[in-house]
């Protein structure tokens, strides 16, 4: 295209999930011109793609939602304690309509490349539909769990049936009635879908590499009275949530497990189990810091598995041996009980991995398991997977892929040295997946909105982190992670769920309020740690 045909925006945002939607809303409010590119055919991000049976959020509905609009909080009614995927998607659509965001989103279009122009201090953005647009600011709102991990198995092309990935589920749904189904993986997506697939399938074979810790959801419908009462105190709930290290509110007992005796612990764990969900980890204060404390909750949870699963050998296989809550804890409805059904089988692939696919199924350790359909519940290239799909070139022709080869490096998880005017929402080094995701998104977007209007006020042409401050933050993110037992196993938090990836603890585990304080200090200290170029006034806030 002739240069004059290239459209010019203040900001281009990649992704119309919750991050992209709120970013667009704030950009519009501030009078910036903006365009959002979205690969999917609709808004909702991860909730647009993850339509597998049983998909739901494991943070309570009342907290897994935007807080920026009191009217929105009051008018929306969640039907269940834990929202099912269709309802979250409906909510995302409601937000898009209510705040009139759709007209600035281009759907079914992937950004393929973004190149920084040092002469104009702007980005050239290209898409798979042939768009070429420029923007001063390039904002990655691509989500943390959005690039499916599809391990390559030998013989995949020989399999005669369909292979589905939970993270890219067919929109028309899948009917497994009378089919023999194989599920690979036992993470959150598997644990949610297995009980439901088992109701349809004639046979279900689950291929488990690592047994997973899971706590019952005790999901329930939310009554009108409950909602009314909760909404009357919504602002207090939001404030309490923001003050918590996790960014969401649940009862948390600070007492160390090791200070209680065995009987007290049993009672405490039983009560927490009966409340269920992620708050189970709040039974004591030291569970994720002291291995011997963790051993006590682990043994309690193993006893629960043994009490639910009737076949002792299957029960033992389902009992995880690693640190409780080291990988992200799962929340389930009838997961373990599903293995009591006569047509459900568990196959251990921890010592002998899946050998190959054949025309008729999956071979493990010389044994062939015949299946008609395969569900790959194998997770995501977390945090950085969607960055890898875009050729991002910064100053001096250096690519982000080169810079991040040994692991992602970003200041506050918001920006990366050498890539001026590029921002990321819930990027690596931000609390993101270790905080309540939507609260984290709102904080990042609000900080960014302040930053962009400040730049406009002072006439700044570009902003970029200083290498030294970025290095110090990356070191800090790594240092605080070592305090937590979560840094001790292989998981998508550290990237090692994908073969060949460097081991780096990616999210910031120091706590949401501490992170917010740091971001605010940076802003109040004239964007300390960033260099602003071409300002009339220097780095003044
Ligand atoms: P997860 O939690 O990453 O789970 C993926 C599962 O797939 C896990 O059990 C893996 O075993 C298994 N996996 C991956 N590759 C293989 C191969 N090659 N062979 C056998 N098994 C394999 O992804 P989810 O989608 O369930 O959940 C992601 C997050 O979404 C979740 O934490 C919530 O925050 C929402 P492994 O444990 O690596 O041995």
Bridge-partner residues for 127, per DSSP?
111
Q: What angle do CA 267, 272, 275 make, to 5 degrees?
A: 130
Mutate to test the pocket of ligand 1, among 47, 189, 325 (most ligand atoms within 8 A of CB): 189
Q: Closest Cα partner for 112 from 11, 6, 12, 3?
A: 12
For the ranges 95-99, 310-314, 395-399, 491-495, the lowest mean pLDDT is seen at 491-495
Q: How far is the CA of 478 from the centre of ligand 1 (A)?
A: 23
Quote the pLDDT of residue 34.
98
The span from the CA of 165 to the CA of 150, in Å, is 8
The span from the CA of 515 to the CA of 430, in Å, is 8
Tens of pLDDT, residue by residue over 112-133, are 999 999 999 999 999 999 999 9
Atom number of ligand 1 nearest to Cα 189:
26
Q: How far is the CA of 164 from the centre of ligand 1 (A)?
A: 14
Q: What angle do CA 378, 379, 381 make, to 5 degrees?
A: 120
What pTM was computed for the model?
A: 0.97
Mutate to test the pocket of ligand 1, among 183, 209, 380, 506 (most ligand atoms within 8 A of CB): 209
Paired tokens of 484: 């937590």
Q: How far is the CA of 83 from the centre of ligand 1 (A)?
A: 22
Q: Give percent of the chain with pLDDT exceeding 90.
A: 95
Q: Closest Cα partner for 344 from 214, 181, 187, 192?
A: 181
Quote the pLDDT of residue 538.
56
Between 298 and 248, where is the model more confident? 298
Paired tokens of 354: 């899946």
Q: How far is the CA of 183 from the centre of ligand 1 (A)?
A: 11
The span from the CA of 339 to the CA of 310, in Å, is 8
Atom number of ligand 1 nearest to Cα 376:
7
Quote the pLDDT of residue 534.
87
Q: How far is the CA of 377 from the centre of ligand 1 (A)?
A: 6
Q: Which residue's CA is the closest to the ligand 1 atom numbered 25? A: 379
User: In Å, how far are 24, 252, 305, 427 from 441, measured between CA atoms?
Assistant: 12, 23, 35, 10
Q: Which residue's CA is the closest to the ligand 1 atom numbered 34? A: 328
Quote the pLDDT of residue 4.
54
Q: How far is the CA of 266 from the centre of ligand 1 (A)?
A: 30
Q: How far is the CA of 186 from the centre of ligand 1 (A)?
A: 6
Q: Is the pLDDT of residue 541 over 50?
A: no
Atom number of ligand 1 nearest to Cα 190:
26
**Contact between residue 282 and residue 250 where contact means Cβ atoms under 8 Å apart:** yes
Q: How far is the CA of 180 from the centre of ligand 1 (A)?
A: 21
Q: What is the rounded average pLDDT of the residues 513-531?
A: 97
Q: Which residue's CA is the closest to the ligand 1 atom numbered 3? A: 379
Q: Which residue's CA is the closest to the ligand 1 atom numbered 22? A: 185
**Contact between residue 216 and residue 332 where contact means Cβ atoms under 8 Å apart:** yes
Quote the pLDDT of residue 499.
87
Q: Which residue's CA is the closest to the ligand 1 atom numbered 20? A: 209
Residue whose tokens read 């997973």 = 212
| Strands, sheet with 354-357, edge to edge from the N-terminal-most edge strand | 354-357, 361-364, 367-370
- What are the percentages of helix, strand and coil residues in the chain, rounded to 5? 35, 20, 45
Atom number of ligand 1 nearest to Cα 350:
39
Q: How far is the CA of 256 from the centre of ligand 1 (A)?
A: 30
The span from the CA of 185 to the CA of 164, in Å, is 13
Q: Which residue's CA is the closest to the ligand 1 atom numbered 4? A: 187
Please state whether beta strands 7-14 and 330-332 pair in parallel, antiparallel, or not at all (unpaired): unpaired
CA dihedral 396, 469, 518, 61 (to 10 degrees): 50
Q: Which residue's CA is the closest to the ligand 1 atom numbered 14? A: 378
Mutate to test the pocket of ligand 1, among 185, 329, 356 (most ligand atoms within 8 A of CB): 185
Q: Which residue's CA is the closest to the ligand 1 atom numbered 18? A: 151
Tens of pLDDT, residue by residue over 379-395, are 999 999 999 999 999 99
The span from the CA of 427 to the CA of 408, in Å, is 9
Q: What angle do CA 486, 473, 115 make, to 5 degrees?
A: 110
Beta strands in 1-106 (DSSP E): 7-14, 34-37, 105-106
Atom number of ligand 1 nearest to Cα 209:
39
Mean pLDDT for the chain overall: 96
Q: Is the pLDDT of residue 540 over 70?
A: no
In this prediction, residue 435 has a pLDDT band, given cuts at 50, 70 and 90, of confident
Paired tokens of 481: 């992670």
Q: Compute the half-sphere exposure of residue 539: CA atoms within 13 Å on the CB side of its CA.
A: 15
Q: How far is the CA of 86 from the centre of ligand 1 (A)?
A: 22
Q: Is the pLDDT of residue 46 over 70?
A: yes
Q: What's the N-to-C CA distance of the chain in angstroms? A: 39
Q: What is the rounded average pLDDT of the residues 461-474?
A: 97
Ligand 1 contacts (CB < 6 A) are: 145, 151, 166, 184-190, 207, 209-210, 328, 349, 353-354, 377-380, 492, 497
- How high is the ipTM of this complex? 0.99
Q: What is the rounded average pLDDT of the residues 163-178?
A: 97
* Backbone dihedral angles phi then psi of residue 98, each to the nearest 5 degrees: -60, -35
Q: Is the pLDDT of residue 1 over 60?
A: no
Q: Is the pLDDT of residue 101 over 70?
A: yes
The span from the CA of 15 to the CA of 278, in Å, is 28
Q: Is the pLDDT of residue 137 over 80?
A: yes
């Amino acid at each position: 295209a002739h240069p004059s045909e290239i459209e010019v925006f203040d900001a281009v945002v990649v992704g119309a999930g919750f991050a992209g939607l709120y970013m667009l809303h704030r950009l519009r409010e501030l009078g910036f011109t903006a365009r959002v590119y979205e690969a999917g055919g609709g808004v909702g991000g991860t909730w647009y793609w993850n339509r597998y049976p049983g998909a739901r959020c494991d943070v309570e509905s009342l907290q897994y939602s935007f807080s920026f609009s009191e009217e929105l909080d009051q008018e929306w009614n969640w039907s269940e304690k834990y929202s099912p995927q269709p309802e979250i998607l409906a909510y995302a659509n409601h937000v898009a309509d209510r705040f009139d965001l759709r007209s600035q989103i281009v759907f079914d279009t992937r950004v393929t490349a973004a190149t920084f122009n040092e002469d104009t201090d702007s980005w050239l953005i290209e898409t798979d539909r042939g768009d070429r647009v420029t923007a001063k600011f390039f904002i990655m709102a691509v989500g943390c769990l959005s690039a499916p991990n599809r391990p390559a198995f030998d013989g995949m092309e020989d399999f005669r049936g369909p292979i589905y990935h939970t993270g890219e589920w067919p929109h028309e749904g899948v009917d497994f009635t009378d089919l023999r189904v194989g599920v690979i993986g036992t993470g959150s997506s598997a644990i949610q879908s297995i009980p439901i697939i088992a109701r349809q399938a004639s046979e279900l074979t689950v291929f488990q590499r690592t047994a997973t810790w899971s706590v019952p959801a005790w999901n329930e419908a939310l009554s009108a009275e409950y909602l009314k009462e909760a909404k009357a105190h919504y602002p207090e709930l939001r404030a309490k949530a923001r003050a918590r290290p996790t960014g969401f509110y649940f009862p948390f007992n600070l007492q160390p497990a090791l200070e209680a005796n065995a009987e007290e612990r049993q009672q405490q764990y039983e009560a927490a189990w009966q409340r269920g969900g992620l708050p189970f980890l709040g039974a004591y204060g030291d569970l994720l810091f002291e291995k011997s404390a963790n051993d006590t909750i682990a043994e309690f949870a193993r006893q629960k598995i043994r009490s639910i699963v009737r076949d002792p050998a299957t029960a033992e296989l389902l009992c995880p041996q690693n640190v409780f809550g080291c990988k992200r804890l799962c929340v389930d409805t009838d997961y373990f009980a599903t293995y009591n059904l006569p047509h459900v089988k568990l196959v251990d692939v921890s010592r002998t991995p899946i050998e190959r696919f054949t025309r008729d199924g999956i071979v493990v350790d010389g044994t062939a398991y015949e299946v008609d359909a395969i569900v790959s519940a194998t997770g995501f290239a977390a945090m950085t997977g969607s960055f890898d799909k875009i050729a991002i070139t910064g100053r001096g022709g250096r690519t982000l892929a080169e810079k991040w080869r040994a692991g992602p490096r970003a200041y506050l998880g918001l920006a990366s040295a050498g890539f001026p005017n590029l921002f990321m929402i819930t990027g690596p080094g931000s609390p993101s997946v270790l905080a309540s995701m939507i609260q984290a998104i709102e904080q990042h977007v609000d900080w960014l909105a302040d930053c962009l209007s400040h730049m406009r006020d002072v006439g700044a042409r570009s902003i970029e982190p200083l290498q030294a401050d970025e290095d110090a933050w990356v070191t800090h993110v790594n240092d605080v992670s070592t305090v937590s037992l979560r840094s001790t196993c292989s998981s998508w938090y550290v990237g090692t769920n994908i073969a060949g990836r460097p081991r780096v603890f990616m999210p910031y585990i120091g706590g949401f309020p501490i992170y917010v304080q740091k971001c605010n200090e940076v802003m109040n200290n004239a964007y300390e740690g960033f260099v602003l170029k071409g300002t009339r006034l220097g780095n003044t806030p």
